[in-house]
Amino acid sequence: MSGGHGVPRRFAVLIDADNARAPSIEEVLEHVGRHGTAVIRRAYGDWTSNRLSGWKSVLNANAILPVQQFAYTAGKNATDMALVIDAMDLLHAKQADGFCIVSSDSDFTRLATRLRESGMMVLGCGDEWAPKAFTAACDEFVPLKGTRGASSQNGHARNLSRAVNGIEPYAAIVRTATHEDLFTPRHPVKPAPKLAAAGAPSQPLPQPTRMRSPKRATGRVTTPRPAPAPLQRKSSEELQADGELTGLLQAAILSQSDVDGWAELGSVAAFVRTHLPEFRPKNYGYAQFQGLVEATGMFVLREQPNERSPKNVRKFIRPREAERDELGY
258 domain residue, yes or no: yes
CATH number of the domain where residue 291 is located: 3.30.420.610
pLDDT of residue 11: 96
Average pLDDT over residues 189-201: 54
Radius of gyration of the chain (CA): 27
Q: How far lies 299's CA from each of 30, 164, 290, in Å?
A: 38, 16, 11
Residue 224's Cα: distance from chain center in Å? Answer: 43
Write out pLDDT tens, residues 49-72: 787 888 988 999 999 999 987 765
- Mean pLDDT for all residues in the chain: 76
Output the pLDDT for position 215.
53
Q: Are residues 105 and 174 in the same domain?
A: no
Domains contained in the chain, number: 2
Q: For residue 88, what are the domain limits? A: 9-148
How far is the C-alpha of 286 from the C-alpha of 294, rounded, in Å? 10
pLDDT digits (tens, 9 = 90+) for 97-129: 999 999 988 889 999 999 999 999 999 999 888
CATH code for the domain of 101: 3.40.50.1010
Lowest mean pLDDT across 1-15, 149-163, 193-207: 149-163
Count CA within 13 A, CB hemisphere, residue 277: 5
80 belongs to a structural domain: yes
DSSP 3-state of 28: helix
